[in-house]
Amino acid sequence: MGRFGPMVQIGSAEEEETPRFASLQKGQSIETITLEEALDLFKLPAVLGEYEGKEVSVNIGRFGPYVKLGEDFISIPKGEDPFSVTLDRAIDLIKEKQQADAPIAEFEGKPVTKGKGRFGPFIKWNDMFINVPRRYNFDHLSSQDIRELIETKVEKEANRFIQQWPEEKNSVGEWPLGPFHTVR
């Protein structure tokens, strides 16, 4: 058993080479896994090829299976077997992610993107995440909606700080428990 659940291992700590580990897939059990199934788990990470001059690989991480393009991680949809992902399928997933991450608008010369996180739908502008309340149609945000959301958030943030130095990403603000200082 490992930190993230059941796993298999090749090698031991007494050997010169560091042992290799692979997590079991959903539906696999330590009690019933065969040697062949265990060895298949070590086929990942697998390099599939190149796209846009960057290496494309597939692997399984602690948040599930993913495609990696350079330094970007793209989740593989639930239920899809990462061992069967081809370069063409990986490119399709990469293009879907690029399209989803593409700017939907521009505000004050900076791009506005949208996404869905654990706290619900949001837009991102100028390194600021802005929740989108249900009263807005998230799939069809108008430029007026975007302006309202951003201006409301900027005003709220401006009232939160006593002093700001944006160039240094440094600020002093007011918190319910008293003043605080942030350095980023």
- Is the CB of residue 66 less than 8 Å from the CB of residue 74? yes
Average pLDDT, the chain: 87
pTM of the predicted model as reported, rounded to 2 decimal places = 0.63
Domain ranges of the chain: 7-42, 44-101, 105-183
Q: Is 45 helix (H, G, I), strand (E, B) or coil?
A: coil
Q: Cis (ω within 30 of 0) for the bond into 45? A: yes
- 127-161 pLDDT, tens per residue? 889 999 999 999 999 999 999 999 999 888 777 66
